[in-house]
């Protein structure tokens, strides 16, 4: 029978199953294929902390949500159009995300009595009338996969492992997608095992053909390529973009990259990525702990390399004392915090923005340092590059804040060429001759920046350390006047960076109006979507996403004055809002979500409307 092809502007799918079901891989493949096809995409992997959580349980559900569209998409979607559930638990956890009349695709084998019991169902929900609002497609994926692979001589485990390919093939049919990018991926992944290449491709095609020949559903969908700005794109995840940004900064500064790190979720992928780039002179050092990770980076920076360390909240806490040392030494260092739910161990695989105060104030003594945050997965590239530039050009440690949401999320990236990237200027102190004046390690230029004096350079022998420095000479000093002067100059040096960063621009809306939504970090996409929608509805609202948090852009105060109300959504209990209130003495209102998951567009829209109403009443 002929099937109708329906056009869709954007579609949100959530893939869900056991953490061993290959859900992340399935989602990533669908994303890459859609991106290559030309859709705009935005993804949100959501997985448990346990590597192999007990099978079939609610706690073990791994999810991968993605939105793809023929228009620009800024979030992985609030409500899903399609739910793919490999078992009853995955179904139960994700059903609330599905819109009424949405499509459910289930593996019926995952609804056997045992699976139902593990998910806490007394009877199968598939036979329940409550599903009448949805369109349910029931497939015995396990059996179909086994049938496709019969006579291949594979064990049950290997057969079951390729079930995800059946589902993927089926969805490729449903959304009129090309199988070849995934087939290519399979060939590369299993280079050493031709049998597995054959098996996976067979199952992928079986899934596709099943869609074509079965009569279980009557429509296919087409999501046209998006009209993104002209250029060449690739799909990229946040941690990957951060790694590339570091390599790019190394190239543009001419300094070798040193990356000292201790494994921690969700930052480890940067280490994995960078460890592959040894032919770029990238040195990765997996240290014995978080403290050694940053201290080795300090040693490397003292030796003249582009030094970077990365972690997540708990690891950053351990690095605190050493960050203070880097501030005293006034040497370049980039500290990456891929934030996760806290405090303490908190929720390692869930996202949060609750380490801003830690970055800002989490050290002993007066210890100011610049803070830069990225807005989205691909923006991690630019933001970390900028963090490196500031660290090197201003001789200071710099915080780069990312979070689990953007670190693991992905989106299309119009990647730059090497030539188009700004160069980073490195100023190192020159060799001294016998008659030259004595080298003064803490002598500053007009930006209050001292010189980088590398070991091995004749005549620059000097000693530095964590004890208060004497002005110019850097010798130990306990002089009261000197300490006050040094504390002030270290703060002034950081403040002066504002002269070299761009002014704050509005990401949406007019320069004056009723409501200004200020965001930072990965809330960019959802705020952008919500504000656009409110503007369409005639609400006077604008959006400013702050990337430079310390120091703030010079014009931020002026910009804020143009609005009657300021609201600040954050995935924390109110942190940027406190800093904004402190700096600009305004009655900014915090919109806070601390659930380990990102805001939905509706939540932001509601907050904007409430703020607008308050303005109107006043």
Piece of the chain touching other proteins by CB under 8 A; list 62-70, 83-91, 296-304, 349-357 = 296-304
In the set 93, 106, 204, 244, which binds other proteins (CB under 8 A)? 244
Q: Does 150 bind other proteins (CB under 8 A)?
A: no
Smallest gap from residue 561 Cβ to other proteins (A): 39
Give CA–CA dist 459/436, Å, rounded: 9
β-strands 513-520, 410-413: how paired? unpaired
Give CA–CA dist 18/133, Å, rounded: 26
Q: Does 136 bind other proteins (CB under 8 A)?
A: no
Six-digit token string for 321: 């004392």
Of the chain, the end-to-end C-alpha distance in Å amounts to 62
- Within 10 Å of residue 2's Cβ, how many Cβ atoms? 5
Piece of the chain touching other proteins by CB under 8 A; list 53-61, 126-134, 231-239, 399-407 = 231-239
Six-digit token string for 492: 């002034």
DSSP state at residue 417: P
Piece of the chain touching other proteins by CB under 8 A; list 52-60, 105-113, 299-307, 525-533 = 299-307
Site for other proteins, residues 308 to 367, rule: CB under 8 A: 321-322, 325, 329
β-strands 10-18, 61-69: how paired? antiparallel
Q: Name the residue nearer to other proteins (CB basis): 226 or 588.
A: 226
Q: Does 264 bind other proteins (CB under 8 A)?
A: no
Strand partners, 166: none
One character per residue 206-225, x = contact with other proteins (rule: CB under 8 A): -------------------x
Instruction: Identify whether the C-beta of residue 235 lies closer than 8 Å to the C-beta of residue 412.
Output: yes
Smallest gap from residue 459 Cβ to other proteins (A): 7
Q: Does 459 bind other proteins (CB under 8 A)?
A: yes
Smallest gap from residue 191 Cβ to other proteins (A): 14
Q: Does 592 bind other proteins (CB under 8 A)?
A: no
Q: Name the residue nearer to other proteins (CB basis): 329 or 518.
A: 329
Q: Does 228 bind other proteins (CB under 8 A)?
A: yes
**Look-up: residue for tokens 């979030």?**
75
Give CA–CA dist 594/313, Å, rounded: 15
Say how many residues touch other proteins, by CB under 8 A: 72
Cα 461–Cα 465–Cα 468 angle in degrees, nearest 5: 115
In the set 200, 296, 311, 410, which binds other proteins (CB under 8 A)? 296
Site for other proteins, residues 37 to 76, rule: CB under 8 A: 37-38
Q: Name the residue nearer to other proteins (CB basis): 158 or 281.
A: 281
Instruction: Identify whether the C-beta of residue 496 lies closer than 8 Å to the C-beta of residue 368.
Output: no
Q: Does 285 bind other proteins (CB under 8 A)?
A: yes
Q: Name the residue nearer to other proteins (CB basis): 443 or 447.
A: 443
Which residues have a Cβ under 8 Å from the Cβ of 164 and sit 6 or more positions away? 17, 21, 22, 23, 25, 26, 86
Six-digit token string for 451: 């010189």
Instruction: Identify whether the C-beta of residue 221 lies closer than 8 Å to the C-beta of residue 150.
Output: no
Site for other proteins, residues 411 to 430, rule: CB under 8 A: 415-418
Which residues have a Cβ under 8 Å from the Cβ of 101 and sit 6 or more positions away? 133, 134, 135
Site for other proteins, residues 4 to 43, rule: CB under 8 A: 32, 35-38
Site for other proteins, residues 471 to 500, rule: CB under 8 A: 475-476
């Amino acid at each position: 029978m002929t099937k109708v092809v329906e056009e869709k502007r954007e579609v949100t799918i959530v893939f869900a199953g056991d953490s061993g079901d290959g859900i992340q891989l399935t989602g990533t493949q669908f994303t890459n294929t859609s991106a290559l096809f030309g859709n705009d995409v935005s993804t949100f992997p959501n997985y448990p902390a346990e590597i192999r959580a007990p099978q079939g349980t609610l706690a073990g559900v791994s999810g991968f949500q993605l939105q793809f569209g023929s228009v620009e998409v800024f979030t992985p979607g609030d409500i899903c159009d399609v739910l793919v559930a490999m078992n009853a638990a995955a179904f139960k956890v994700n059903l609330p995300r599905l819109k009424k009349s949405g499509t459910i695709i289930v593996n019926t084998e995952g609804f056997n009595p045992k699976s139902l019991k593990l998910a806490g169902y007394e009877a199968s929900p598939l036979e329940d009338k409550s599903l009448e609002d949805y369109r349910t497609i029931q497939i015995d994926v396990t059996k179909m996969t086994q049938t496709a692979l019969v006579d291949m001589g594979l064990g049950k485990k290997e057969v079951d492992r390729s079930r995800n390919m059946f589902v993927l093939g089926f969805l490729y049919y449903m959304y009129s997608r090309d199988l070849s990018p995934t087939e290519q991926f399979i060939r590369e992944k299993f280079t050493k095992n031709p049998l597995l290449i054959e098996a996976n491709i067979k199952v992928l095609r079986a899934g596709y053909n099943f869609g074509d020949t079965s009569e279980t559903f009557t429509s296919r969908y087409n999501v046209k390529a998006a009209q993104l700005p002209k250029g060449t794109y690739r799909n990229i995840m946040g941690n990957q973009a951060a790694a590339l940004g570091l390599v790019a900064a190394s190239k543009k500064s001419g300094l070798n990259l040193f990356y000292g790190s201790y494994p921690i979720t969700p930052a480890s992928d940067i280490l994995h990525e960078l460890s592959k780039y040894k032919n770029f002179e990238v040195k990765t050092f997996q240290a014995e702990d978080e403290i050694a990770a940053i201290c080795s980076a300090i040693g490397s920076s003292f030796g003249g390399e582009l030094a970077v360390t990365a972690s997540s909240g708990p690891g950053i806490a351990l690095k605190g004392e050493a960050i203070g040392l880097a501030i005293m030494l006034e040497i370049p260092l980039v500290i990456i915090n891929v934030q996760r739910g806290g405090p303490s161990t908190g929720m390692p695989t869930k996202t949060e923005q609750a380490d801003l105060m830690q970055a800002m104030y989490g050290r002993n003594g007066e210890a100011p340092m610049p803070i830069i945050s990225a807005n989205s997965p691909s923006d991690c590239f630019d933001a970390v590059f900028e963090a490196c530039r500031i660290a090197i050009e201003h001789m200071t440690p710099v915080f780069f804040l990312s979070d689990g949401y953007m670190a693991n999320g992905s989106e299309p990236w119009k990647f730059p060429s090497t030539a188009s990237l700004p160069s980073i200027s490195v100023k190192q102190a020159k060799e001294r001759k016998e008659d030259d004046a004595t080298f003064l390690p803490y002598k500053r230029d007009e930006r209050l920046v001292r010189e980088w004096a590398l070991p091995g350079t004749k005549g620059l022998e000097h000693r530095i350390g964590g004890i208060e420095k004497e002005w110019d000479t850097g010798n130990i000093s306990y002089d009261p006047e000197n300490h006050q002067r040094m504390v002030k100059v270290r703060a002034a040096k950081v403040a002066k960076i504002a002269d070299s960063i761009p002014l704050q621009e509005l990401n949406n809306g007019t320069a004056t109006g009723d409501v200004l939504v200020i965001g930072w970090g990965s809330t960019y996409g959802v705020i952008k979507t919500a504000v656009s929608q409110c503007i369409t509805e005639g609400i006077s609202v604008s959006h400013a996403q702050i990337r430079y948090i310390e120091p703030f852009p010079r014009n931020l105060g002026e910009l804020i004055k143009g609005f009657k109300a300021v609201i600040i959504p954050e995935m924390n209990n109110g942190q940027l809002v406190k800093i904004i209130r402190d700096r600009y003495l305004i009655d900014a209102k915090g919109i806070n979500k601390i659930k380990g998951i990102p805001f939905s567009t509706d939540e932001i829209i509601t907050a904007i409307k409430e703020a607008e109403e308050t303005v109107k009443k006043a």
